[in-house]
Amino acid sequence: MNKLLSTSIKEVSQKIYDGAVRPSEICRASIKLTSLVKPLNAYITVTSDVAGKQASDADARQRQNSLLGQLDGIPIAIKDNYCVKEKPTTCASRMLANFSPAYDATVYERLRKQGVVLMGKTNLDEFAMGSGTVDSFYGPTKNLWGSEMLSEFYSCERDGPSVTTWQPHERDAWRIAGGSSGGSAVAVATGTCYAALGSDTGGSTRNPASYCGLIGLKPTYGLVSRYGLIPLLNSMDVPGILARTVDDSILILNAIAGTDPADPTTVQREYTPINLPETINVSNLRIGIPKEYGVQGISEEIQACWQEVSRHLEEAGASVVPVSLPHTDYSIVCYSVLNRCDVASNLACYDGIEYGHRADEWSSAHEMYKKTRSEGFNDVVKGRILVGNYFLLAENYQEYYVKAMKIRRLITQDFDVLWNNNIDLLLTPTTLTEAPIYNEFTQLDNQTQCLIQDHCTQPANMAGLPAINVPIKLSRKGLPLSLQLIAPLFHEQRLLTVAKWIEQTMRFPRLELKNSCLLE
């Protein structure tokens, strides 16, 4: 069972179809593993009751030879900003600590109909506002990599740099998981589920995937429904997928993508499921290397990874060419303005009357409203609301919001120029370094860290483009190093094909649970 929890969806699904293992056995082992890795704080809610019922139903379908597909009986997790009927959906905030929606998000509904087993709702930065999963009402999520649990419960499947051992004097020097979908990333990395949904507004799926050694897929805006995803920035939010392999991410994407009548922003055309060829040829591709992504602060090891993968692509016959995206440096500032404007608007409904936490204040409706919002949101959220309202004042609207929208158009046009000049994909860093130590990461405030962490990931959201994080190798300290691919709109097939080629070429070491971890 330890080996099964560490493998891919494709492999464990075959075991289920062959009758070699029951979905309920996998579910029980996954639930036990969630308790063993609980100190990492990946989950806000473990839905063992739901998982048990869904696994039992999958058992019955297995006995009747009527399994629903490759996802039937497969444990997955969902970031806690997606609605799941009658289960807590908190957005990692006190404001929604007691909120249980009356409906399922479309992405979960589609996965449920494929027979998945829901392990739980995962931790995030409050209302997805952060890049470390350190600003949650339920406490920070800790990265498996660099933790004492890594050497205690896991081993690498092939030789590589030795994993950093846990030193007593470093007990507070754990590594961040990345954010804001850090809980989903750690849930997959630890083996408690085979894949997880995150959300991606400025890099919130790809960033934790980078730090946790996972595939992190951000589809094209509009390809996947946002219905039931509690919004951060409506025009950039995209459901993201965290998985161990490219093939696993494709299975999840094929299950959730496509038009949704409940979400008018989804593309109004039939989705064609993605199938990758057995043999991948990259010799006909032109890969752009944008100079603006080689910014100050990029580590020598990330730079070396970037050059190494570029060299492998050239050796395989691809044309690797330098390109420019001249408005990249404005993207983060532009995003900061648009983000805060949407936050001020989207969070206005949390007043303690219709939605959310209600303060114990009865002197007047105004005082109750004021105290409710003061208690319900953390300082990061309150700061963004205040700044967003300032940007939206009549006297400031043109200077901030309208100007930011114009810059967004320029950023989008930068990408269009490259695609029109026959650039097929872009290869960039995802993050500038390996996963930072928590104490060092928190020396800078939330906004400053987002400016740093989102530099390479955010422009793709600005233009609505599909992008994917691919883990490359381990650093000298035994931590994941990753790169990002960006493709034109709706070119997921091309994006995932090249990601699979890189995955096969670089062979990032996979973790496997030790036999002593679970009693079989």
* Region at 420 (left for phi over 0; alpha for psi -120 to 50; beta for the rest): alpha
* Rounded distance between C-alpha atoms, residue 244 and residue 473, angstroms: 14
Asked about 345 being catalytic, the answer comes back as no
Q: How far is CA 472 from CA 121, 304, 459, 504, 510, in A?
A: 28, 11, 22, 10, 11
Helix (H, G, I), strand (E, B) or coil at 63: helix
CB-neighbour burial class of residue 267 (10 A; exposed 0-12, middle 13-18, buried 19+) = middle
Known active-site residue 204: yes
| H-helix or E-strand spanning residue 199 | strand 195-200
Residue 338 CA to residue 333 CA, distance in Å, equals 9
Active-site position among 180, 199, 210, 336: 180
Q: Yes or no: say if 430 and 469 are a contact pair by the CB < 8 Å rule.
A: yes
Query: Which residue out of 30, 204, 249, 336 is catalytically annotated?
Result: 204
In the 3-class helix/strand/coil scheme, how is 206-274 assigned residue by residue?
A: HHHHHHHCCEEEECCCCCECCCCECCCCCCCCEEEEEECCHHHHHHHHHHHECCECCECCCCCCCCCCC
- Contact status, residue 230 vs residue 44, Cβ threshold 8 Å: no
Tell me the sheet residues that pair with 471.
482
CA distance 496 to 221: 16
Task: Give the contacts of 130 (CB within 8 A, at least 6 positions apart).
Answer: 124, 179, 180, 380, 446, 449, 450
Does a cis peptide bond (omega within 30 degrees of 0) precede residue 180? yes
Coil/strand/helix, residue 61: helix
Residue 323's H or E segment, with its range, is: strand 319-323
Quick one: which of 106, 99, 94, 107 has its CA closest to 135? 94
Q: Given 8, 24, 30, 79, which residue is catalytic?
A: 79
Helices (H), 257-401: 300-315, 328-346, 365-376, 379-391, 397
Enzyme catalytic residues: 79, 180, 204
